[in-house]
Chain A
Amino acid sequence: MLILPELYLILFSIIFLFISLGKSRQNVIITAKVLSFIAFFISVLCLTQRGELFYSAYRIDLYSQIFKILIALGLCLVVFMFSDKDGIETEHLPEYFMFLSLSSLGLMMLSSSVELISIIISLEISSYSLYVIVPLRRSQDSNQIEAAMKYLFFGAISTGIMLFGIGYLYSITGSTFIAEIFPQFRALMGQTFGVFALILTLTGIFFKLSLFPMHFWAPDIYEGASNVTTTFIATLPKIAATALLIRLATIATPIHFNFVNALIILSALSMTFGNFVGLVQRDLKRLLAYSGIAHAGYLMMGILTLNADGIASAIYYITIYVFMTLACFYVIITISRQGENATLDDLTGLSKRSPLLAMTLAVAAFSLAGIPPTGGFTGKFFLFTNAFKQGYLPIVIIGAVNAVISIFYYLNLVRMSYSKDTTSFEVMKLSAHEKIICYVLIFIIIYMGVLPFGLMNIFKFSLLF
């Protein structure tokens, strides 16, 4: 079965559709956990599948399967992070999980689509589900509604721009299949017109990645949506967006320096902007939003090399980014038991209240900042090396300086939880299940930092097809 993971996710959402029709809300969360774990399991089983479907509009290969595993694993972790008290009305829980899985379905389809129309359809499947779940939050003040509206409008606009770019691609080449567009369009990449058309097409992806000019939605939506929803938005769509970005951006080759320069500028602006604004944030989710903007910039450093090594390192980076962001969000979810937003001050004395959570946060923060021996360092190291190898010295230096700037606010997270004392505190008891998630995330972050070569080789291998 080539598309078993996708079919399974459809089944997943249908099950929750039926649950939502019934009255009982008893075992929704536990069902979701079991089903999402099976989703991960199935996607791993389908790793070695290869083939094409739907008149070659849908390709299953190692590349797409790796991204599907990542998406399924991300979904699984997000669902496992869900606890009863998270800010979703119990009444809406089945619908919530239904849309989560539908969105993941769209993202999985995105990583397999090799035809422009199916790309748009997958993108919209994943986006629309998210538009629905953003306002689902218990405290019904205007914040989450505002967030939902902004997300919807910005999303629609960026899709519009993307469609505009796709219109160009189609009008020039007369085809919507990426495989047919490639050879014809590559000849045009030397011209401003070609660069313009491609950048327009990529806009929708930049939106998902929250790269600089398309970043403005991120802080507000992160702040307005419930903690788990934000966790989802901050991680999974970025995985699929990277997959698609790599598919489309490789129309260009390193000799198309106009295009590369455009990406370099976007990358530099994105990391600089994200890090500088991140410095002054107090709300943890806003802080992580700006961190996400900065990290999208780092990610672009890998993409803009446009060679296999660089792109493999970009995949490596998005993978580690997902885990370290998940770890940060997990701490936020756990310390705000009522589902409210957490600020920096809420971290005060965390190392005494819950040493394990403080350690998870510290590992994630050091990783985000790029300090060895964590995965964040290894990922950045690969990105810097490959960009340097291609001769893009300025972006390497900008990236290095940014790494130093960002340490201020990442270290602030650690500082708050370790060196600020509180006079009164209550010890937080973590359940076994919560401890396991912490250990798993810490393990993955350290493992990816110390032993990167296996994964790197797989990623690079997957690009050969």
Chain B
Amino acid sequence: MEQQFLLMNTFSFPILSTAIFLPLVGAVLLFFIRNETAIKATAFITGLINLVISFILFSGFNPETHNYQFGEFIPWIPSYNIHYVLGIDGITIFLILLTTLLTPICVLCSWTAIKERVKEFMFCLLIMECAMIGVFCALDFILFYIFWEAMLIPMYLLIAIWGGPQRDYASIKFFIYTLFGSVFLLVAIIAVYLVTGSFSIPNAMFRDYSMNFQIWVFLAFAIAFAIKVPMFPFHTWLPAAHTEAPTAGSVFLASVLLKMGTYGFLRFCLPITPKASEFFAPLIIVLSLIGIIYGGYVCLSQTDMKKLIAYSSVAHMGFVTLGIFSLTLFGFQGALLQMLNHGVTTGALFLCVGIIYERTHSRQIYDNAGLGKIMPIYVGFFGLFSISSFAFPGTNNFIGELYVLLGIFKNHKIAGLFAIPGAVLAAAYMLRLLKQIVWGREDKREIADMNIREVIYLIPLCILVFWMGLFPRPFVFTIEKTLSYLHSQLNFILR
């Protein structure tokens, strides 16, 4: 059954399993090392090797097909038709690359910021990487769910142990909110299983379910994913979690975890419940617009840098869900690009906040204002990522938002009109932040500028900002086939 969707792995080794479980092996290795520097180095090298593996993966990726590639299939719980099935397509390849790129960066950014329980911290980071890659690779509902939930535990610990002053509240809120959504996901998964008789994800797609069934399953899926994205009424866990998490945790949270929600919409909601998706599209679009505008307004009044960026995530992710539920090819492409862009830009912004926090021990905008003359290199990077964040032409976000707007104007012109002020608001709050950081205060303080380690880990993200902004063709080309297949299948069902 699976074989018809799955192009088996052509490498001599199971490359996806390697990418998933290498971090786990690295994490276990950490337990046998006592020296702290060696622990950090091991974690870094594990991340780096995994990055290389994902480059090999990318080099072998065939953008000409919409099928799942590098497939692996091992029977797991045969009596329940649960199998260990892995495979990636155009939607997931870049998300995996993003994850593997960010892991070594997160290790580097925690090099001096984490002073106690370094071993456990690196352990959590690597387990996170394992689970995140697993989520993107899994083609079996149960496998997917296990990775999806397993992610919660290290993330919870990252916030709860190494977080800020309010970490207790933030970590609990994060955990319970996401778990609440996941339980509905589980019920929906079981419902789909009882109809299809298998836990295979591709097998459940584009089937002729009854409308009633689709609506209930869609709602259950949507709650889980909307909390993860997070969409407007479910977003309240995000600012708390982002603010209290350590830098590496914030980066993972913003860059990868939030993408899981939108990935879920693309991978589950649209193909499995297409009619219900069309039925609920106006609702989701309205919620996205509220998210964009509300997020923007709230950003304007923030005094805490991390909180500001967290709320800007709500607005940016609103664009992603807007693109997905425009149900147009441009919308899909824009949404996927925007997912990557947000991962790069917001991740980088959190890294920047982490850098300054390590020096001034404050996240307040006022405490960190007026750095223009004190930390020129830092301000350069910060400025670049800020203007990228409000979609300045030539940077990555511009392309993503452009595609999304093209898509939304095609189907829902009024919704498009409402999205424009959101884009303007983004410029307003990011420029306000940037102005404060560069020129906000007159007094001279002694703050060391960025060191070489910090420059090194920001450079790759910097390159990506320009690459995806100026020459997005390779990215679009890789994802195009998968998304156009999805789009044509949807069109076929909905017409």
Contacts and interface: CB of A to CB of B under 8 A. Distances in A.
Interface stretch (A141-149, A330-338, A393-401): A393-401
A418 B160 contact: yes
Given A419-B160, A420-B168, A411 B194 contact: no
B175 A407 contact: yes
A415 interface: yes
Contacts of A369: 179
29 contacts: A371-B153, A372-B145, A372-B149, A373-B150, A377-B146, A377-B149, A384-B186, A384-B190, A388-B191, A388-B194, A389-B194, A396-B187, A400-B184, A400-B186, A401-B183, A403-B183, A404-B176, A404-B179, A407-B176, A408-B176, A411-B176, A414-B160, A415-B172, A418-B157, A419-B161, A419-B163, A419-B171, A453-B77, A460-B79
A463 interface: no
A403 B183 CA distance: 8
Interface in A435-465: 452-453, 456-457, 460
Interface in B352-383: none
Contact of B190 (A372, A388, A407, A420): A388
A366 interface: yes
A397 B187 contact: yes
A369 B176 CA distance: 11
Interface string A367-401: 00101110001000110110011000000110011
B193 interface: yes
Contacts of A366: 153
Interface of chain B: mostly helix, strand, loop or mixed:
helix
Contacts of B120: 355
B212 to A, nearest CB: 13
Contact of A453 (B79, B184, B187): B79
Contacts of B342: none
Nearest to A408: B176
A227 to B, nearest CB: 27
Nearest to B199: A385
A351 interface: yes
Contacts of A403: 183
Interface residues on A, range: 20 to 34
Interface in B173-198: 175-176, 179-180, 183-184, 186-187, 190-191, 193-194
B329 to A, nearest CB: 35
Given A372-B145, A419-B161, A419-B167, A456 B79 contact: yes
Contacts of B146: 372-373, 377
B1 to A, nearest CB: 19
A355 B194 CA distance: 42
Contacts of B78: 453
Nearest to A384: B190
Contacts of B163: 419
A453 B179 contact: no
Interface of A: 351, 355, 362, 366, 369, 371-373, 377, 381-382, 384-385, 388-389, 396-397, 400-401, 403-404, 407-408, 411, 414-415, 418-420, 452-453, 456-457, 460
B32 interface: no
B144 to A, nearest CB: 10
Contacts of B176: 404, 407-408, 411
A415 B80 contact: no
B485 interface: no
A404 B163 CA distance: 24
B49 interface: no
Contacts of A456: 77, 79
B142 interface: yes
Interface string B150-169: 10110011001101000110
A385 B167 CA distance: 36
A81 to B, nearest CB: 25
Contacts of A407: 175-176, 179
Of the listed residues A355, A411, A460, the one surrounded by the most CB atoms of chain B closer than 10 A to its CB is: A411
A443 to B, nearest CB: 13
Nearest to B171: A419
Q: Which of B150, B190, B194 has the most CB of A within 10 A?
A: B190
A404 B176 CA distance: 7
Contacts of B80: 382, 385
Given A403-B183, A419-B161, 5 more contacts: A385-B193, A404-B180, A407-B176, A452-B77, A453-B77
Contacts of B179: 369, 371, 404, 407
A411 B156 CA distance: 10
A411 B190 contact: no
B157 to A, nearest CB: 6
A331 B187 CA distance: 33
B168 A415 contact: yes
Given A418-B161, A453-B77, A411 B172 contact: yes
